[in-house]
Chain A
Amino acid sequence: MKRRTFLQGSLAASAAASLPRFAIAQPASVLKFIPGASLAILDPIANTSAPTRLHGFMVYDTLYGLDSNFAPQPQMAEGHEVSADGLDWTIKLRDGLFFHDGEPVRAKDVVASLNRWSKRDTFGKTLFSRTNELLAVDDKTVRFRLKRPFALLPAALGKVGSNIAVIMPERHASTDPSKAVTEVVGSGPFSFVAKDYSPGALIAYEKFKKYTPRSGGEVGFSSGPKNVHFDRVEWHVIPDGSTALAAIQSGEMDWWESPLPDFLPIVQGNPNMKIVPAGGQVMFLRLNHLYPPFNNPEIRRILLSCIDRKSIMQAVGGGGEWRDDIGLYLGSMKTDAGIKEAFRGRTDFDKIKSELAAAGYKGERMVMLVGSDTPRNLAASQVAESTFKKMGLNVDFQSLDWGTVSQRRASMEPPDKGGWACFFVGADSEYFLDPATNFLARANGREGWFGWPDSPRIEQLTEEWFNSTDVAAQKEIAAQIQLQAWKDVPYVPIGEVQAPGLARSNLQGFAPGFAKFWGVKRA
């Protein structure tokens, strides 16, 4: 190398080093978001995963939404009229509703969409079991003709836990609800950018310019004006927590949906970042009612009396916000009925062992499925295992990846043939509002959720709750369901943990609950 060439190279290198730091710059109209998990399935009717629901709320809209008190409010609906006998509900669509392909939203799209939704969603099935007919009166009006009054109709159409009653074009809504729609055409505030979609890496949305937000009101849980302040929202899937944190710290990303609780103390005091409100998550223990030991109600009740909810939630929630005093419901039907009597946190293990023996426990293997790649499930399982062993239960702690747990828990076989006895998992708090949304508190046997509890009394009370039109009466029934649940133990509610997000300080306008991309803007 000639000396002159060397000097030129050195000067160039020095000049490059003195350039301003340029890793931070990004266009102001793009919001970069790190989701908790990747979006694999694009149809919120065919799939109930959290990313699919989040995606659903971005690209689709619903007739009703829930406000911050979980009360249903018209969203796509202008409003509704109910006949004097409570059997005819006439819902008018508001003006200015368009699908992303430019077509107006018509009543026939609504009818087809709700029919499809009702084939997959539990609340939807309940509504349609009470429906004689759903028809499009004209392009902007739909009418439910019910068999009996059903005051929960707007709540069903505005539910925020999967499956949400999204409105699709008729051509999509008339397809098999068990087969996911792959073309995304909604009428929500964002349109899906199919050409940029890279599952597991990038999911992009653009502001839908023809979207007309509701006028007035406040941004609620899923209701209110959905004003969009970004031209484009990008979900960047970053599976590694440390990398995601670094991306927020460096300003390459704006918002992280679900940071690990361990990271929150690191960012406290950092002026460039802030913790933002997000939804809670309920941790629970599901028991298999088909086989020993938990096919025995007495053993289930003993377990309930011993479970150490505080220790489990301490392990799950760490230094974050959590509570261990929950019952079955967190919304308007919340009740304290029987909680203290049921959850005693007993530690008299010698007596417990003799009670278990008297109840008929013969040391049967208790297969505990543990999703060891999900930190909260793992923490809860590890703490509970210690209690179970002290109780004298023959715990078989099976550490698996969550995909395998998902498959194993569907097995109705006995434990020695791939079956199971219990597992811990969390679900978004929106699923625990009342008897309509809390699918875990249902006890309809093999028709129900994994674990298949069978309690005619709980089902009868739930049916009464659905039929009731009086809120005070509903609250009383909800308390009775809860008391019955402490006897039949369809599941064991452990506690609720808040799962805050993390964002750059210059973002504002966050609403509580799941991540909402309307209302959020850069300061």
Chain B
Amino acid sequence: MATKSVEKYSSLEIIKMSLRNNIRQYTMFIALIGIMLIFSLLSGVFFTPRNLSTLFLQTAHIAILASGVVLVIVAGHIDLSIGAVVGLTGAIAAILQAHYGLGVLPAIIITLAVGALIGLWQGYWVAYRDVPAFIVTLAGMMIFNGLLLGVTRGETIATSSMFNKLGQDYIPTLFFINSPKDMLPHDTTIIFLVFVIVAYLWYELKRRKERITYGFDILPIKLFALKIALVISLITAVFLIMALYLGIPYSIVILMVIGSLYTFITTKTTFGRHVYAIGGNKEAAKLSGINIRQRTLWIFISSGILGAIGGIIYTARVGSAAASAGQGMELDVIAAAIIGGTSTLGGQGTIVGAIIGALVMTTLNNGMLLLDVGTTERLIVRGLVLLLAVWIDISSRKRDA
């Protein structure tokens, strides 16, 4: 094979093929843009940097938790205890600081360790005792809700302003203070943006060079440029929205790190590949020498740790821990993952999809709130959207077969 670009196909054909192969991801993305457009038309406030930044803030913990649950669902399990874990770990983080006088960092480290322990506990029952995850995490939900009530004694515990920054505040500016009114962009965010774009360009170019060395087909240069331009404008749009308000929130930085890490885990690591194989065909995975029990244990430990991160961010955003915190959150998280294309049967799902799914859910909520839609209708609409998303997914899969 020579180092030629794909001349077998015209550019149009390549675009068509790519669309067809990734139709699921694109559909959800287009749906998200569509929903945003509709809200922009209906409400003048929706498409402002201020509202969109708030929307991102509201999405952060759901998207982080959804990244973790993707692994769980892909492996063919479920985690119903997410909400309870968020509540419990959030309360632990608050109590460690309020009652035991621990600093923010030690409190966070201990909370993460508790999350890992919770995951170890649930993973042990699922992986080594063969109890279905549905039951283990349903039991977990009750147990952790009980513990939450026990540690908070029903009181609301306020968290320190330092800690709350994680959920509410933005990364500081370097050179000059901006304010949303003067439309001056937030400098650190712009620096961050440039850094991300450079990293992305470096990655794409390196990949292309490697493919040439291997003698594989590469995209024609025009398409390659088009693809890069599209991705960069998307990244820029997202960053500009935040730069024009108060900058990037800490929670979004955490989401970016976790989103990238989990995308790496699911697409580039042996562990990730094994998770998809276990969910796709457990028996084949076992006979291929995959240690299913150990992998399952780690999936739940990951879910527990992300639960704790979600708990920390959520508590910081609310500014206090309460016995009712996190209730029902697992449903939002699971819905986000599934709207984002994670198959309920296991074996399929992406992190990016789950993050988009989380955005869809919060956008609907946020937009309808702006339009003064009541809680009743909001719940109904979101339920219907979940139903619709899964239906579209299933019917498109049938067309595939």
**Do these two chains interact?**
no
User: Which residues on A are within 8 Å of B, measured CB to CB?
Assistant: none
